[in-house]
Amino acid sequence: MDRIIISDLRVRCIVGINDEERREKQDVTINISIYGDFTKPGRSDRFEDAVDYRAIKKRVLSMVESSKYFLLEALAETVADICLEDRRIEKVEVRVDKPAALRFARSVGVEILRDRKS
């Protein structure tokens, strides 16, 4: 299966369960791997045949910036749902990291894998 990778998408949002996390936007980093058969755009070299990963990035950014999730798991799930709206995408892997989540740790992250059957 072929893969498109969106790496280290940085965005600020409300995420967390503590009062201070609910007041101020925090940095999160999102990594997305999109899987499918991308033979057709590879051979045709036509944008119309390809997954528009710029449009996916814009939709993800817009959703995350306006979101107020308690859990990284829920945020990751919604990112996966956005990606799977494109029927050419068969599977998506989403990792959401919250750099300031734990003292002495560089980051805490959640990684999920979803496909059309999930």
- Reading phi first (left if > 0) and then psi (alpha if -120 to 50, else beta), residue 109 is in beta
pTM: predicted TM-score of the whole model, two decimal places: 0.94
- Please report the domains of the chain, with CATH numbers, ordered by start residue: 2-115 (3.30.1130.10)
Give the model's pLDDT for residue 116. Answer: 84
Beta bridge partners of 12: 27
Q: Centre a 10 Å sphere on the Cβ of residue 7 and count the other Cβ atoms it contains.
A: 10
Question: Which of 53, 49, 52, 48 is closest to 38 using CA atoms?
Answer: 49
pLDDT of residue 4: 98
Residue of 57, 91, 98, 117 marked catalytic: 98
User: 118: pLDDT confidence band, cut at 50, 70 and 90?
Assistant: low
Catalytic, 98? Answer yes
The tokens of 63 are what? 């959703």
pLDDT tens column, 35-94: 999 999 999 999 999 999 999 999 999 999 999 999 999 999 999 999 999 999 999 999
